[in-house]
Amino acid sequence: EAEVALVGRSNVGKSTLMRELTGHSKFDTGGKPGVTRQPNHYDWTAEDFVITDLPGFGFMSGVDEEYREQIKTNIVHYLEEYADNVLVGILVVDGKSVIDIIDRHSGPDEIPYDVEMFHFLRDLDVPTVVAVNKMDKVDDKDERLNELCDRLGLYPPWKQWQEVIAPITAKRGQIDPLNEAVRTHLHEQGRDD
Ligand code: GDP
C-alpha cells in the first residue's frame, strides 16, 4: 500500500501532527522524547494510503550516542527499502529552533540531520515537504522561512517553494499548507482521485 512517511527530530511535534493528520488520539505527546522507535503505520483519514511515523532522531535524554546512530541507520534503511512505495516524505522541523540547530551542527565534517535527511529523501526521488511546525512561536515568519530555504539550498523567497515549505501549527490544527503541499505532490503522481 502506498504511504506517506513522516520523519523528524525528537520533540518537533511529530506525534501532535500525526494526530491531526489521522484524526486518531492515541499518540503519545508531551511524553519522553524518542518513545516512537519502530515505524508505525496509520491510515490517513479519507485517503487511500498509510502514513508511516518513523522514529524521532537526534538528541534524546537517557539515550546514548550509539543507540541514536542505530535509530538513524534504521530510518535510512527503511526509506531506502521502501522509497518506491513512498509517495511523499514529510520532514517535520521545529520552526522556533531549526535554524539554530542547523547552524550549530554545520561544519567542515558535519551535516545537520535535517539538512541531511532532506537531501537524502530527494536523492531517493521521494517528493519531500518540510513541515515547519510551531510557527505560533515564531515572530518574523517570512524571515525564518527564508533562512530555512537558504540552509536547505532552496533559493529564497520561501513563497516560491510552497510545495516544499509548509509552515504549520500542529497543536492548533493549523496544517492547511501541509495538506496543500502533499496534495500537489500526489496530483503530480496522478493519485489525487
Ligand atoms: P514528537 O516528539 O516530535 O512526537 O513531539 P510531540 O508531538 O510529542 O510534541 C512535543 C512538544 O511540542 C509537546 O509539548 C507539544 O505540545 C508541543 N507542540 C507540538 N506542536 C506544537 C505547535 O504547533 N506549537 C507549539 N507551541 N507547541 C507544539
Structural domains of the chain in order of their starting residue, each with its CATH number? 3-188 (3.40.50.300)
pLDDT tens-digit readout, 39-62: 666 666 556 678 888 887 766 667
Nearest atom (ligand 1) to Cα of 36: 4
State the pLDDT confidence band at 30, using cuts at 50, 70 and 90: very low
Tell me if 62 CB under 6 Å of ligand 1. Answer: no
- Ligand 1 center from residue 148 Cα (angstroms): 19
Residue 43: which region, alpha, beta or left (left: phi > 0; alpha: psi -120 to 50)?
beta
Nearest atom (ligand 1) to Cα of 12: 3
Tell me if 171 CB under 6 Å of ligand 1. Answer: yes
Cell of 192: 489525487
The CA–CA distances, whole Å, from 57 to 9, 38, 43, 136, 139 equal: 4, 12, 23, 23, 26
Q: What is the CA angle 65-9-155, rounded to 5?
A: 120
**What whole-number distance in Å separates Cα of residue 142 and Cα of residue 90?**
20
User: Which residue's CA is the nearest one to ligand 1's atom 22?
Assistant: 134
Average pLDDT, stretch 174-193?
83
Q: ipTM of the assembly?
A: 0.99
User: Which residue's CA is the nearest one to ligand 1's atom 6?
Assistant: 13
Q: What's CA 7's distance to the chain center, in Å?
A: 4
Question: Among 2-6, 102-106, 114-118, 167-171, where is mean pLDDT lowest?
Answer: 2-6
**What whole-number distance in Å separates Cα of residue 50 and Cα of residue 139?**
34
User: Which residue's CA is the nearest one to ligand 1's atom 5?
Assistant: 13
pLDDT at 188 over 90: no
Question: Among 30-39, 44-53, 82-91, where is mean pLDDT lowest?
Answer: 30-39
